[in-house]
Structure 1
């Protein structure tokens, strides 16, 4: 992606994840919370659907992006169409927990970025609980080379990842990188 898109606080973790995806030869990717602003959001919300969609297109992989908001899904689909990524990206309108629970394939990369976070403590708790539910719904489809990236973690009260990261650390995962986003791999991750 050209530097003009910047990606600010996500740039380094995106780059590190893509390096690991290449090493593990990842093929199946899932994102919760689609890029509702397309590339216009590169400097604010990250535009991960397009970032990982472009990686998928260059590496014969596939990205499923799921969001419950109809408008967000429509906007993301518009950008996927514009970027000519339909062969490698599918946008789903669904509750992410239900989608993950029903997903049948093994998952090489999981990007958790749904349920917007806010300054409201009740919303923060619900967002953190939602992310934990998402992980638990897909946990049995992850394997020893799976990579998990959680967005919006460097926020008040532990950000989106507070509960899910604690759960993962108790269940055989380790933090590979901790910044605005937290990148986790299995304790015996081979790379």
Structure 2
């Protein structure tokens, strides 16, 4: 009897430990295989793609490509692959722009592995210059360029200013139902989105989700 009690307690402890691990595993299944953990970005990815489908969006533009493909979903979110998978299922298209040849090379390897070249296009360019010359209407804009720093205030400032300039450059390509997602916001100094979010809030934009990522839409697009 004592042995059975001990075995039962061990099983219970194992179930509790497994439950805690699973609670920290933020999967995007069935869009992505269950093994990939998207951590702090999972919930905003889900909400963003739900809104995109609801608004019948098709064109996704991303600044700052997923340089590691699916190798670091917990750390960087692998958005290029995530958006590519969604576009492949919904007849959409993804354009990802990055100034780094090495980053694009890594992203391309990920696209090759996932057979996403038919829906994802990579562009080598400064994102601001690219957006200034872009001539299509954008349904989802994902701002994730100019690597942020946790400690260097000068890099923080430059990253924040860069994201504001991206928005200003692309504002002409946005429409009433455009969705904007900004990465790396819940960080020291306000993260990548601090300045651009402040700017957008003075216009017709509102925050839908304020977490590690900030999700925004036009106030006029919200139904009463």
TM-score w.r.t. the length of structure 1 is 0.98
Aligned to 2:85: 54
Output one character per residue of 1:100-126: Cα deviation in whole Å (capped at 9) or x when no partner. Answer: 111100000000000000120000000
Which of 94, 103, 110 is the equivalent residue of 1:72? 103
Match of 2:35 in 1: 4
Supply the distance in 1 between the matched residues of 2:222 and 2:85 (Cα, whole angstroms).
25
State the secondary structure of the residue aligned to 1:87. Answer: coil
String of CA shifts for 1:113-152, please: whole Å, max 9, x gaps. Answer: 0000012000000000000000000011101100000000
Q: CA shift at 1:4, angstroms?
A: 1.3
1:76 alignment partner, SS class? helix
Larger Rg: 2
- 2:175 is matched with 143
RMSD: 0.8
Are the equivalent residues in 2 in contact too, given 1:35–1:41 (CA < 8 A)?
Answer: no
Write the distance in 1 (CA, Å) between the matches of 2:64 and 2:34: 24
Counterpart among 96, 99, 115 of residue 84 in structure 1: 115
Instruction: Give, in whole Å, the separation in 2 of the partners of 1:3 and 1:19.
Output: 19
Q: Could you tell me which residue of structure 2 aligns to residue 184 of structure 1?
A: 216
Which of 154, 160, 173 is 2:192 aligned to?
160
The equivalent position to 1:38 in structure 2, one of 40, 49, 69, is: 69
1:15 is aligned, of 43, 46, 57, to 46
SS of equivalent to 2:116: coil
Aligned mate of 2:206, from 148, 153, 174: 174
1:115 to 139, 142, 146: 146
**Offset at 1:190?**
3.7
Runs of 4+ in 1 over 6 A off after TM superposition: none
Shift of 1:188: 1.5
